Amino acid sequence: MNFKYWLNVDKTGKLGTLHSSLCSFRLLQETPFKGIERNKIDGGWFSFQSTFQAKEWLPKNFPHYQYQECSHCIHS
């Protein structure tokens, strides 16, 4: 399944930034500290089919985190 959006959850900044799957700022890779589709020490990357899904998911899984959309790839 191709995902349209990826949410970068950053634990240090308590921030979730949504990127389109084609965004050049989307540095999607598994590291020892950041997971793909799983949470690690610094956070993780999580996939969604819509901006609505990501916006609903973040506060349920990471309360008190700020949600934002990438200004380079998502234009509301």
Residues linked to residue 15 through DSSP beta bridges, in sequence order: 10, 66
Residue 42 falls inside a structural domain: yes
**Residue 66, both tokens:** 């700020």
- As a whole-number percent, the residues of the chain with pLDDT over 90 amount to 76
Tokens 């990438």 appear where?
70
The CA distance from 63 to 25, in Å, is 25
Residue 74 falls inside a structural domain: no
Question: Residues 38-57: pLDDT tens digits?
Answer: 999 999 999 999 999 999 99
Domain count, the chain: 1
**How do 15-20 and 66-69 pair as beta strands?**
parallel
Q: How confident is the model at residue 76 (pLDDT cuts 50, 70, 90)?
A: low
Q: Which domain holds residue 19?
A: 5-69
Residue 52 falls inside a structural domain: yes
